[in-house]
Amino acid sequence: MGDKQKRDHQDEAAAVLGHTSKKMRPPGVRSVGWALVQAARLHRARTGDRLAKLGLFAGQEQVVQALAAAGTMTMGDLAALLRVRPPTASKTVTRLAALGIVERRAESGDGRVVRVQLTEAGMAKAEAIERIQEEVEAELLDHLDKTDRRRLRKLLRKAARGLAEAAGASGQVTEADAEIEAEDETEGLPA
């Protein structure tokens, strides 16, 4: 069978299977989403390996860090800050409470409102998590200059807000969001 006949045969087989004869590119060649997923997967793996040594799973550190910064939060405020649905935040808090890292208290006068805070053990975990985050952040940003780092942070925050809105899990702009956006504006980074 000649080359032309082979190509024709391949095209026919592809048509039968519902494929086009267009050459497929490897995944992610031009996809921002693919690149983001790959970077996030690697970041999560690097962080997860270190968190496992603390007895934590990736994702739990975000709750610990949020509570370390805020002191006490309602479950609703925690979910909004993390841009997750309240049941997701609640499951994570339940697991952390079982480990003795957080404690929950019903609001006096309104048992529907639950406040969460770190225990002493949780504060120690928060300090260890901060060191882990700094190590992984340094690895992540090692090849970026200061301007690229700020630009990347700003773009990722914007993308996250858009996806959160699309998923119905958007929270209010936090004080930290406003602070970072103001810093970016003074640095001359476009909105």
| pLDDT score of 175 more than 70 | no
Helix, strand, coil shares of the chain, percent, nearest 5, are: 65, 10, 25
pLDDT digits (tens, 9 = 90+) for 110-134: 778 889 999 999 999 999 999 999 9
Supply the pLDDT for residue 12: 63
Supply the pLDDT for residue 190: 52
Supply the pLDDT for residue 3: 66
Q: Which CATH number fits domain 32-152: 3.40.640.10, 3.30.365.10, 1.10.10.10, 1.10.510.10?
A: 1.10.10.10
Residue 117's φ and ψ, nearest 5 degrees, are -150, 160
Helix (H, G, I), strand (E, B) or coil at 107: strand
Residue 139's φ and ψ, nearest 5 degrees, are -65, -45
Supply the pLDDT for residue 167: 83
Supply the pLDDT for residue 187: 64
Please give the residue that has the higher pLDDT: either 144 or 113.
Answer: 144
Place of tokens 């809105």: 165
Q: 153 CB contacts (<8 Å, ≥6 apart)?
A: 180
